[in-house]
Homo-oligomer: A and B are copies of this chain.
Amino acid sequence: MTIIAMLDYASVLVFALTGALVASRAQLDLVGFAFFACLTGLGGGTLRDLLLDRTPIWIDNPAFLMVGCGAAALVFFTAHLFESRYRAILWLDAGALGVAVAAGAGLAENLSQPPIIVLVMGIATGCAGGLMRDVVANEVPMVLKQGELYVTCALIGSAALLLSPQIGVPMASLACAGITFALRAGSLVFGWALPTYKPRPPRK
């Protein structure tokens, strides 16, 4: 199995866990858990594949759906063990972001897309699944949270994937996943952020 295939599986698994946890907060049944797990786990990769005119990964290889359903079942029976499901969602989402960005940007690079498209595919693959989860579940999308890095992590991680070979770093995909996750974790723990827009006149 190639590194990109492994990253694809990992991102489906971890995003699916966050989807199932959101379903647990909405008190759905097991099928509802599977629905949210697969939507979240497969949403980003599916968007990437549609944009690049490829068959979605899970149609070629239904094992991805099994991963999503397995994550749903796991969470259905264990979610009560988490002290705070919201924090579990935040942290799993951070990990999923890392691997999904690497999977998205890595695939675009393998297809010899130009660098800017590699960046966009990293961002789209990393952010779209969680965005669909939050929109469908009526929660505030994580990309909208003020004073947190989110899209920025995906952007810098994808840039790391592009630059790694040129500065002699091996395993560019893993560097990408690690940097993306580290930035997101630093934002969650230490409050790392970029300057946000501050309206000067009263906001209307």
Contact = CB atoms under 8 A, between A and B. Distances in A.
A133 to B, nearest CB: 12
Nearest to A82: B201
Contact of A59 (B31, B51, B83, B127): B51
Interface string A69-102: 0000000100110011111000000000000000
Contacts of A127: 35
A138 to B, nearest CB: 7
A32 B62 contact: no
Number of copies: 3
A123 B35 contact: yes
A18 interface: no
Contacts of A116: 62, 65-66
Interface in A97-135: 113-114, 116-117, 120, 123, 127, 131, 135
Given A29-B195, A65-B120, A35 B151 contact: yes
Contacts of A34: 151
14 contacts: A26-B144, A27-B146, A28-B196, A29-B149, A31-B155, A31-B194, A32-B151, A34-B151, A65-B120, A79-B197, A80-B200, A85-B204, A86-B204, A136-B144
